């Protein structure tokens, strides 16, 4: 039905520019308007139910319409709806959340800085390390190493660290000094006949070669998601992260764990860095920190970095960086309650248990004619669709088949995400075993519908 002139659909397509959207296609297609949510489900304006298989944007840990988070926000709005933390001001929620984050994270991480998003947080990390190295008399130590297909946000600096062409194209990015090294995805980037151990060794040698080529005294940090998520759900090969950490220690390069998606239990462990056995100098968190009920991110970093920054703020009189909403009292109050729910309901443990169920159930689709690889950890998974299983040949163009599957998902009441032709799942941490199996069943129907469409279109 064509939207009427005063309908929400019509107003949307005539007034809004949507993120990560083909604007002209959106004018033709119009939005799917989500009206409400409950638990792992959301409902559109017609009342149709969908399983939110991506937890919103990889983020709604405790599910939708959690009354404790609503009540925490309302109580804080009544008491102190807003105040800043500039110039020696503070408020109880931001103080107590910093205390909690230091308690939850690895022992070497002792200080917290707040932003409103992961993009702002990674942008801030770049500025922090530039500021620190200037303070330490190392003005050349400003470059970063990141990975192709890594995702770190969309501001000028964080978008530069991101290793996805769509985030760079026509934005004149990268705009900061960054080298992108090989994506650590064995299925797609291993050479013919290369073992996983040899693949890891090759990637670590590449990183060391880049360090030596650029000069260790010019490299400020190495940034990576423990498990790469938005680039296609790609767990690292065995030994990769301990090897990266060893290189960072050898060459005095700060190791930054982007835990925006991995953090607070997504992999069945507290953090992705814990899951893969390495200790970062800086950890960036967001998304599941508040279950995205409020925009908030937190950078947790070492005392060594703090001391260098703090000394320089005393020398020049300020740390000239911060945001109006840094440590917002409502956002930090919601985060405290959200983390309390995660702990009280053992949602990290549930992610481990239900993740095992989900990964095992999804493995059946490895034999599906469209599926090249099923991969993931905990409650995050990806199924890569290919034109030919034996050769791993992708569809051409990449993304057309994935988009069709994404839309078939809506038909089947399952919201997933296609990253190119990889179908990503990342359900809320509250999910039950019955609900896991329902996701897997709906996904099976989506795969079959997609296979029929591929055959009809002659794409295989």
Q: How many of the other CB atoms lie within 10 Å of CB of 259?
A: 30
Q: Is 439 helix (H, G, I), strand (E, B) or coil?
A: helix
Residue 339 CB neighbours (<10 A): 23
Whether residue 223 is found in the same domain as residue 243? yes
Q: Which of 223, 226, 327, 334 is nearest to 270 (CA)?
A: 226
pTM > 0.85:
yes
DSSP 110: E
373 and 309 fall within a common domain:
no
Instruction: Tell me: do 184 and 259 sit in the same domain.
Output: yes
26 in a structural domain: no
Is residue 413 situated within a structural domain? yes
Q: 3-class DSSP state for residue 405?
A: helix
Domain check: are 53 and 108 in the same one?
A: no
Burial of 134 (0-12, 13-18, 19+ CB in 10 A): middle
Q: How far is CA 81 from the centre of its chain?
A: 28
Interatomic CA distance for residues 222 and 73, integer angstroms: 36
The answer on 49 and 130 residing in a single domain is: no
Same domain, 301 and 236: yes
Mark whether 58 and 73 lie in a shared domain: no
**By the 8 A CB rule, do 283 and 224 touch?**
no
- The answer to whether residues 269 and 334 belong to one domain is yes
Where among 287, 322, 344 does a domain terminate?
A: 344
State how far the Cα of 67 lies from the Cα of 341, in Å rounded to an integer: 11
- Residues constituting the chain: 460
| One domain, residues 268 and 409 | no
Backbone phi and psi for residue 414, each to the nearest 5 degrees, phi listed first = -135, 120
From first to last of the 460 residues of the chain, give the pLDDT tens digit: 455 678 999 999 999 999 999 999 999 999 999 999 999 999 999 999 999 999 999 999 999 999 999 999 999 999 999 999 999 999 999 999 999 999 999 999 999 999 999 999 999 999 999 999 999 999 999 999 999 999 999 999 999 999 999 999 999 999 999 999 999 999 999 999 999 999 999 999 999 999 999 999 999 999 999 999 999 999 999 999 999 999 999 999 999 999 999 999 999 999 999 999 999 999 999 999 999 999 999 999 999 999 999 999 999 999 999 999 999 999 999 999 999 999 999 999 999 999 999 999 999 999 999 999 999 999 999 999 999 999 999 999 999 999 999 999 999 999 999 999 999 999 999 999 999 999 999 999 999 999 999 999 999 7
**Number of domains within the chain:** 2
CB 118 within 8 A of CB 286: yes
By the 10 Å C-beta count (0-12 exposed, 13-18 middle, 19+ buried), 137 is classed as exposed
- Residues 134, 270 within the same domain: yes
Extract the tokens encoding 446.
Answer: 């989506």
Residue 17 lies in a domain: no
Q: Are residues 334 and 436 in the same domain?
A: no
Check if the beta carbon of residue 91 is closer than 8 Å to that of residue 329.
yes
Measured on CA atoms in the order 168, 169, 171, 172, is the torsion positive or negative?
A: positive
Query: Which CATH number goes with the domain that contains 339?
Result: 3.40.640.10
**Residue carrying structure tokens 């991506």:** 54
Q: How far is the C-alpha of 338 from the C-alpha of 104, rounded, in Å?
A: 14
CATH number of the domain encompassing residue 447:
3.90.1150.10
Q: 88 in a domain, yes or no?
A: yes
Residue 47 within a domain: yes
- Provide DSSP, 296-362: -EEEEEEHHHHHHHHHHHHHHS------TTTT-HHHHHHHHHHHHHHHHTTHHHHHHHHHHHHHHHH
13 within domain boundaries:
no
Give the domain-ending residue among 309, 327, 344. 344
| In-domain check, residue 241 | yes
Domain range for residue 400?
32-62+346-457
Output the six-digit token pair for 187.
Answer: 């299925």
Asked if residue 162 is part of any domain, the answer here is yes
CA distance 124 to 116: 11
Cβ neighbours of 132 (radius 10 Å): 22
Residue 428 near residue 39, CB atoms below 8 Å = yes
Of 294, 321, 344, the domain-final residue: 344
Confirm if 359 and 376 have CB atoms less than 8 A apart: yes
| Phi, psi at 112, each rounded to 5° | -130, 140
The pLDDT of residue 1 is 44
- Give pLDDT tens digits for 346-398: 999 999 999 999 999 999 999 999 999 999 999 999 999 999 999 999 999 99
pLDDT given for residue 6 in this prediction: 83
181-198 per-position pLDDT tens digit = 999 999 999 999 999 999
Q: Is 221 found in the same domain as 114?
A: yes
Nearest residue to 176 via CA among 241, 125, 227, 250: 125
């Amino acid at each position: 039905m064509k939207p009427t002139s005063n309908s929400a659909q019509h107003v949307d397509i005539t007034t809004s520019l949507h993120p990560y959207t083909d604007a002209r296609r959106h004018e033709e297609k119009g939005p799917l308007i989500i009206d409400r949510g409950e638990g792992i489900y959301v409902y559109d304006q017609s009342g149709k139910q969908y399983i939110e298989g991506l937890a919103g944007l990889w983020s709604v840990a405790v599910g939708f319409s959690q009354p404790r988070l609503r009540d925490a926000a309302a109580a804080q709005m009544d008491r102190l709806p807003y105040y800043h933390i500039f110039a020696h001001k503070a408020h109880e929620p931001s103080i107590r959340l910093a205390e909690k984050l230091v308690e939850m994270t690895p022992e070497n991480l002792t200080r917290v800085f707040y932003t409103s998003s992961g993009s702002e947080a990674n942008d801030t990390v770049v500025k922090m390390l530039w500021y620190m190295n200037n303070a330490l008399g190392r003005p050349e130590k400003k470059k970063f190493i990141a990975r192709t297909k890594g995702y770190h946000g969309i501001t000028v600096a964080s978008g530069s660290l991101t290793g996805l062409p769509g985030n760079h194209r026509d934005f004149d990015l990268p705009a900061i000094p960054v080298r992108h090294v090989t994506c650590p995805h064995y299925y797609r980037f291993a050479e013919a006949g290369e073992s996983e151990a040899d693949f890891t060794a090759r990637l670590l040698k590449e990183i060391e070669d880049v360090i030596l080529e650029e000069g260790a005294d010019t490299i400020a940090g190495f940034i990576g998601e423990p498990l790469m998520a938005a680039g296609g759900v790609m767990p690292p090969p065995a030994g990769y992260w301990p090897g990266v950490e060893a290189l960072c220690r050898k060459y005095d390069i700060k190791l930054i764990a982007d835990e925006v998606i991995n953090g607070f239990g997504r992999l069945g462990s507290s953090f992705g860095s814990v899951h893969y056995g390495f200790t970062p100098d800086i950890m960036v968190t967001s998304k599941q920190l508040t279950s995205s009920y409020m925009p908030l991110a937190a950078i947790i970093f070492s005392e060594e970095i703090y001391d260098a920054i703090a000394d320089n703020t005393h020398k020049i009189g300020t740390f000239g960086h911060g945001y109006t909403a840094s440590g917002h009292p409502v956002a930090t109050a919601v985060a405290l309650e959200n983390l309390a729910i995660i702990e009280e309901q053992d949602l990290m443990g549930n992610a481990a248990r239900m993740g095992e169920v989900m990964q095992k159930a999804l493995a059946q689709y490895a034999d599906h004619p469209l599926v090249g690889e099923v991969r993931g950890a905990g409650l995050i998974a990806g199924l890569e669709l290919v034109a030919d299983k034996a050769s791993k040949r992708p569809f051409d163009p990449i993304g057309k088949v994935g988009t069709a599957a994404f839309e078939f998902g809506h038909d089947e009441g399952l919201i997933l995400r296609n990253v190119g032709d990889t179908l990503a799942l990342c359900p809320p941490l509250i999910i039950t075993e019955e609900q896991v199996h329902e996701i897997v069943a709906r996904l099976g129907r989506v795969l079959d519908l997609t296979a029929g469409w591929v055959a009809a279109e002659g794409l295989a």
